[in-house]
Amino acid sequence: MNIADQNSQAPPASENLPYPSDPFMKYVFKSPLLLWRMGLGPLLGRLFMILTTRGRKSGLARHTPVEYFTINGRIHAMAAWPQSDWYRNLLANPHVTIQTSAGSQSMLARRVTSDVEWQSMLDYIAANPARQRIWAGMGFDLSADSLLQEKERYHLLTFEPTDEPTPEPLPTDLWWVGPALFFGWLIMRRGSKRAYRRAAAG
């Protein structure tokens, strides 16, 4: 069963987190893309991955920052809003590219459905109090029996390596911005010191 078939059988997701429709909030959620393009991926990539999907209508590469976590050496992510464009793109074509602090990888997305995998996630959450608070705030009942019984309500994804073609990763085409700002600051600082000296001498 492919990921689209799995999703079609799932009940509606939790409504505890309203989908961010405000343009400013959408910009905030997308802001890691700019930092990544500036070459800060090795820092951001410990918490966020850049997920590149193909637009389900355009076929173009679409880049989205997504929080991820690793269980038993495999990357996982939760689609808090299954109505989001990146998740609908992924349903149409699960061949994706992910970028983390470890680099860029071609992956095949798969929805987690087995009790064994969900139990591994519960073990992971139990060992991470911060993650417990986050997921409880998202409306998860973290008791094992309840979560396993209602796992179809949630959209937990895992990613497996693939040799099949996937979209181009997000480039670091703005790597020059950081050095340019730094040298600009040095020039302004030197100019301010000279102006201060002239004023003091006059």
Query: Model confidence over 57-99: pLDDT tens digits?
Result: 999 999 999 999 999 999 999 888 888 999 999 999 999 999 9
Residue 33 makes CB contacts below 8 A (sequence gap 6+) with 50, 63, 64, 65, 170
DSSP notation for the chain: --HHHHHHTPPPPP-SS----SHHHHHHHHHHHHHIIIIIHHHHTTTEEEEEEE-TTT--EEEEEEE-EEETTEEEEE-S-TTSHHHHHHHH--EEEEEETTEEEEEEEEE---HHHHHHHHHHHHT-HHHHHHHHHTT---SHHHHHHTGGGS-EEEEEE-SS--PPPPP-TTTTHHHHHHHHHHHHHHHHHHHHHHHHH-
Count of other CB atoms within 10 angstroms of residue 34: 13
Structurally, what CATH architecture does the domain formed by 3-170 represent? Roll (2.30)
pLDDT for 167 equals 97
> Which residues in the chain show pLDDT less than 50?
1, 8-15
Q: What pLDDT score does 188 carry? A: 87
Give the pLDDT score at 184: 87
Structure confidence at residue 13 (pLDDT)? 45
Q: Which pLDDT score is estimated for 18?
A: 64
| Distance from chain centroid for Cα 103 | 14
pLDDT at 3: 66
C-alpha–C-alpha distance, residues 83 and 27, integer Å: 17
